[in-house]
Amino acid sequence: MTLAEFQRLIRDQFGAKDARRGVDGNFMWLMEEVGELAAALRGGHTPEEVAAEFADVFAWLATLANIAGVDLQAAVTKKYGVGCPGCGRTPCVCAAADKP
C-alpha cells in the first residue's frame, strides 16, 4: 500500500467521523496515541504492541492531513524526496546537533 492509498483508506473508513471532530479533536487523539507509543517504546510491551502503536500514530497523522487538505505523499516527496532538507544529501551529513 502506498502512502496515498493509506491516506485514502483512512479517509474512506473514518472521514465523516473525523470531519465532525475537526482539527482540534483529531489532534488530541493523535497526541494520546503518541503518548501510548512513548509508553510502548519505554518497555514492557511486545513487538506487536509497539508496532500497533506506530500504526495508530500514523493513522491519526493521516486523519489530520485529510482534515487539513494535505496530500501526505506529495508533502513527503517534496520535503524529503531529494535528500536531507538541511544538507540535501543522502545520507544526511548535517552536524549531530543540527536539525534534522
Residue 59 lies in a domain: yes
CATH code of the domain in which 21 resides:
1.10.287.1080
97 in any annotated domain: no
| Residue at 96 is within a domain | no
Does residue 87 belong to any structural domain of this protein? no
Q: Which domain holds residue 40?
A: 3-69
pLDDT of residue 29: 97
Predicted confidence at residue 99, as pLDDT, reads 79
Please give the model's pTM, rounded to 2 decimal places: 0.91
pLDDT in tens, 48-72: 999 999 999 999 999 999 999 999 9
* 86 located within any domain: no
- Rounded Cα distance between 45 and 42, Å, is 8
Report if residue 28 sits inside a domain. yes
**Whether 73 contacts 4, CB under 8 Å:** yes
Residue (of 68, 60, 4, 55) closest to 32 by Cα position: 60
> What would the pLDDT profile of 14-58 be if each residue is shown by its tens digit?
999 999 999 999 999 999 999 999 999 999 999 999 999 999 999
